[in-house]
């Protein structure tokens, strides 16, 4: 890891620009419009910080599946026309109006989570709550640091929830995703077996090499029988579900009685406003349970100490090389449109990183 790829804590230039520049949401009625048509590069004045907020000079921000769903206007947060997009990234805190913790953050490189209801982080500057900023270790490069919150923290939380449910093994669909890979790595550390399902043959060996105990192709004629046998063999009673729609009942149907699906995403390409299905018979007669997970809700309910411990655990795993976000390409504003559409169609190729600053 070269020194050039890492940002150290520095004294910020408190004199910031008065204008901001970034990618804003452009709401479209055309359901078939590509992701690149749903954003627009715009400039607007920097807002005045409200109490509890900090201003961050952004360094890098990734594209996540949740960003793509938000562009469609179908995420859990109402879409805001002309608001900057982007849920996470990393940058340096340059101003604060947030008491002692805010003063502590000034000059520090932090992982940033966007504050719901205002501009996101695909911009040169971002405003968010001080407690949505996690100070970063110096040995994690910007491109990796920008991805620390959404996917790795979700991977850890999902495995921890599976442990609470007494899981000896879990089924992971869309397992070649960054969350899926993180679950496989972390579950292995925690002694939990993993049954990974993927659509592409090219991902089978990748996940086997990563440590998945069983990798199954969803397009196989024998998929359901193979999955049922694997669940029985490993005693898998938890499904970590990023796909939703028809995949949820399809997988649960062959899992043991008393199994639980934890739905944390909706990767299925559908414009159905509901997006989810389940078997009523399985829920009533087989005690199949379905629950949801959203990291924002977890962080909102957690104590500062719990959030700090989660952050430190994830960063340690990054520094040790246990967690590593696959990155397809790092680009600037000019090239972002093209690679955004590539990511939308080829998520398993790795993250697209918007380089800022």
- Residues 6 or more apart from 329 whose CB is under 8 A from it? 339, 342, 350, 352, 353
Per DSSP, what are the bridge partners of residue 241?
Answer: 263
Q: Catalytic: which of 75, 101, 328, 337?
A: 75
Nearest CA to 356 among 106, 92, 67, 40?
92
Rounded CA-CA distance 310/323 in Å is 14
Specify whether the CB–CB gap between 82 and 25 falls below 8 A: yes
Is residue 84 among the annotated active site residues? no
Main-chain dihedrals φ then ψ at residue 349, nearest 5 degrees: -70, -20
DSSP E strands in 63-102: the ranges are 88-97
Nearest CA to 23 among 42, 3, 37, 50?
42
Rounded CA-CA distance 54/110 in Å is 11
Residues known to be catalytic: 75
């Amino acid at each position: 890891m070269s020194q050039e790829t890492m940002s150290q804590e520095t004294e910020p230039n408190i004199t910031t620009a008065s204008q901001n520049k970034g990618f804003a949401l452009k709401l479209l009625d055309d359901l078939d419009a590509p992701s690149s048509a749903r954003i627009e590069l715009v400039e607007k004045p920097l807002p005045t910080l409200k109490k509890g907020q900090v201003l961050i000079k952004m360094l890098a921000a990734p594209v996540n599946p949740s960003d793509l769903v938000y562009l469609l206007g179908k995420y859990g947060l109402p879409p805001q026309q002309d608001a900057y997009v982007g849920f996470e990234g990393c940058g340096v805190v340059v101003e604060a109006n947030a008491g002692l913790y805010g003063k502590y953050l000034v000059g520090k490189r932090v992982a940033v989570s966007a504050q719901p209801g205002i501009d996101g982080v695909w911009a040169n500057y971002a405003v968010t709550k001080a407690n949505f900023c996690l100070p970063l270790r110096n040995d994690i490069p910007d491109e990796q640091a920008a991805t620390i919150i959404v996917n790795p923290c979700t991977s850890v939380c999902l495995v921890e929830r599976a442990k609470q449910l007494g899981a000896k093994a879990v089924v992971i669909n869309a397992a070649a995703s960054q969350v899926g890979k993180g679950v496989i790595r972390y579950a292995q550390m925690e002694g939990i077996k993993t049954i990974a399902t993927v659509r592409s043959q090219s991902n089978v060996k990748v996940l086997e090499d990563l440590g998945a105990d069983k990798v199954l192709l969803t397009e196989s004629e024998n998929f359901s029988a193979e999955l049922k046998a694997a669940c029985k063999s490993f005693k898998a009673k938890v499904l970590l579900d990023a796909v939703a729609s028809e995949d949820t009942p399809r997988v649960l149907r062959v899992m043991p009685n008393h199994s639980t699906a934890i739905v944390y995403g909706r990767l299925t390409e559908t414009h159905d406003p509901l997006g989810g299905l389940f078997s009523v018979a399985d829920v009533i007669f087989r005690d199949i349970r379905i629950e949801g997970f959203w990291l924002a809700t977890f962080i909102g309910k957690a104590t500062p100490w719990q959030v700090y411990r989660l952050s430190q655990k994830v960063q340690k795993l990054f520094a040790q090389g246990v967690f590593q976000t696959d990155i397809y390409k790092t680009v600037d504003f000019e090239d972002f449109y093209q690679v955004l559409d590539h990511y939308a169609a080829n998520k398993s190729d790795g993250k697209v990183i918007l380089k800022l600053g």
